[in-house]
Amino acid sequence: MPRLKLEEDFEKINRELKEAIDEIDNLISLSISSLESLDEGMKETIDNLNLMIYHKLKYTESLCINTIALQSPVAKDLRKIITILEILTDLDRIGRYAYDIFLEIPFFKGSGGVRKLQKIPVMSEMTQHMINSSITSLLNEDDVLAQGLILEDDKVDELYSELMREVIENIKKDSTTVEHGIHYILIARYLERMADHSVNIGDRVVYLKKGKTIIHK
């Protein structure tokens, strides 16, 4: 009976995680599409999504804590719950960065220049793929998929560096683009950090599966 209850708890935790990542994925997509169109019309929807994600992650955290308190899991079961608790922090930060991207829209109003740097949507797509892969690796305890995230992160980092150079070149050509350039870099930085948190999740999955910690150079 205790084992059955523990498995039921894990199923509920996994279900809440899936719902949270769906909401985060939706938040990222809405923020990026709103940025591309310079449209703040989705503000109420995005505000609500941001709040829902916060409460969903907090609820999942409470499920994990209750499982530890009531089921007294040991060995790998305990390691899994601790891993999920750590991952919730990464998901919270990913969601916050996605919301911050939406808050950048006013800085581009009237510029007409937000479409000039096409690397932002590409970075967003790559980052979303990494986030979904990291969660899939967790739910399936797939350490191979988890370890592959570092290669995808290298590509995001490369794109970030390219965007930085592009912004600097634009500023050199036209000094009036300084403010917009700074906000482009901020948005790219948010995406780059989201990708980093996906790698963190992957690293935690490797620890869960193999009991070893990955140290990146």
**What pLDDT is stored for residue 92 in this prediction?**
96
Are the CB atoms for 117 and 166 separated by under 8 Å? Answer: yes
Q: What is the pTM of this model?
A: 0.91
**What pLDDT is stored for residue 36 in this prediction?**
84
**SS3 of residue 10 by DSSP:** helix
Distance CA 109, CA 35 (A): 10
Element (H, E) at 102: helix 75-102
Are the CB atoms for 57 and 20 separated by under 8 Å? Answer: yes
Q: What residue segments make up the domains of the chain, in order of their start?
A: 2-210
Consecutive 10-residue runs of the chain (217 residues): their mean pLDDT? 84 93 93 89 96 97 96 90 95 97 87 63 92 90 94 96 90 84 92 97 92 72
Q: Which CATH fold topology does 2-210 show?
A: Methane Monooxygenase Hydroxylase; Chain G, domain 1 (1.20.58)
**What pLDDT is stored for residue 113 in this prediction?**
52
Amino acid at residue number 22: D
**What pLDDT is stored for residue 110 in this prediction?**
67
**What pLDDT is stored for residue 148 in this prediction?**
95
